[in-house]
């Protein structure tokens, strides 16, 4: 790629991953963000690989690219990503998604294996991501490429406030709703619980994408339990742990895996997913004074799509 300068705005998983890919392509990169990686929405995620909560024809290719990168980096050493075998199940009689049946160890569940209330399910092995650890890994990988994150005093109000030259890469997630006045962005509230691991080495998640969700994801000495996906129209309301929601999450998970009923609670996380009703936005925008490549609106699928979307941003930049 011809040497170029870019400014990546945002230091969540999309911003960091995109910056890594650009720096690896020998692009001169600066990252600016209103929040350091450990304070972003990404740090609050569960998280598991899988094209959930987003309706976009491009997600299969993007998620496949991310899966390949996860396979590569887990072979290198500690990065916060582990491949774990587990079950996904549905209370409705649905067909397993194509991306799941394409996995090498996919296996349809026998009816005797299904938890009460579930009518279909399947086993497979997917990456589970310990987000605080993974974000530190990405930050370290970026620093090894000579790129650091500059923390802003406040969120940008417009792109004109970016003084550095170069193409802008907009990875601001839900922040894009105010930054570029995108009315298609909606906040979806998520909440999860973190407990001590009582010896669980498999994951479970239902196939629901709104309302009450049920999943547990083991990460070594702790397990992440979830969750919910509900609209959150008023961003001025402080995001606090709801104890009733927390108790319900634990009860749903313990109904699947009884050992979770007595697990000590370490804490909880509450965040807002950046759901975009018209689909993920990864495209070049020349409508203003600066050329911008957008990469936001991933809903609950930001980690899953991260490396694929980053590769597309690199390709879009090369085509300018």
**How buried is 266 (Cβ within 10 angstroms: 0-12 exposed, 13-18 middle, 19+ buried)?**
middle
41 is in an annotated binding site: yes
273 is in an annotated binding site: yes
Question: What are the beta bridge partners of residue 271?
Answer: 190
Do 8 and 22 form a contact (C-beta atoms < 8 A)? yes
**How buried is 155 (Cβ within 10 angstroms: 0-12 exposed, 13-18 middle, 19+ buried)?**
middle
Which of helix, strand or coil describes residue 158?
coil
Of 151, 171, 176, give the one whose Cα is nearest residue 6: 171
Which of helix, strand or coil describes residue 100?
helix
66 is in an annotated binding site: no
CA-based end-to-end distance of the chain: 11
**How buried is 142 (Cβ within 10 angstroms: 0-12 exposed, 13-18 middle, 19+ buried)?**
buried
Question: What are the beta bridge partners of residue 129?
Answer: 81
Tokens for 156, please give them. Answer: 């940008």
304 is in an annotated binding site: no
172 is in an annotated binding site: yes
Residues annotated within a binding site for FAD: 41-42, 172
Annotated binding site for D-dopa: 215, 273, 300
């Amino acid at each position: 790629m011809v040497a170029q300068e870019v400014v990546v705005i945002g230091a969540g998983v999309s911003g960091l991953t995109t910056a890594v890919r650009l720096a690896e392509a020998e692009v001169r990169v600066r990252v600016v963000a209103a929040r350091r990686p450990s304070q972003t929405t990404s740090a609050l995620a569960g998280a598991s690989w899988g094209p959930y909560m987003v309706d976009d024809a491009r997600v299969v290719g993007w998620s496949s690219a991310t899966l390949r990168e996860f396979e590569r980096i887990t072979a290198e050493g500690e990065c916060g990503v582990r491949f774990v075998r587990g079950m996904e199940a549905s209370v409705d009689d649905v067909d397993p998604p194509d991306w799941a049946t394409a996995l090498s160890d996919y296996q349809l569940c026998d009816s005797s294996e299904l938890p009460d209330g579930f009518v279909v399910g399947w086993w497979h092995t997917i990456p589970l991501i310990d987000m605080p650890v993974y974000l530190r890994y990405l930050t370290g990988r970026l620093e090894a490429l000579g790129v650091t994150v500059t923390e802003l005093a406040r969120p940008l109000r417009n792109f004109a406030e970016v003084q550095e030259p170069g193409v802008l890469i907009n990875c601001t997630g839900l922040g894009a709703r105010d930054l570029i006045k995108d009315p298609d962005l909606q906040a979806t509230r998520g909440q999860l619980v973190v407990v001590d691991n009582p010896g669980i080495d498999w994951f479970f998640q239902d196939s629901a994408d709104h309302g009450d969700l049920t999943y547990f994801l083991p990460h070594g000495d702790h397990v992440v339990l979830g969750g919910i996906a509900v609209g959150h129209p008023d961003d001025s309301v402080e995001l606090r742990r709801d104890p009733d929601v927390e108790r319900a999450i634990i009860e749903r998970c313990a109904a699947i895996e009884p050992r979770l009923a007595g697990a000590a609670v370490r804490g909880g996380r509450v965040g807002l997913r950046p759901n975009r009703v018209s689909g993920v936005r990864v495209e070049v925008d020349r409508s203003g004074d600066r050329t911008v490549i957008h990469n936001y609106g991933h809903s609950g699928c930001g980690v899953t799509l991260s490396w694929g979307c980053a590769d597309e941003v690199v390709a879009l930049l090369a085509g300018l």
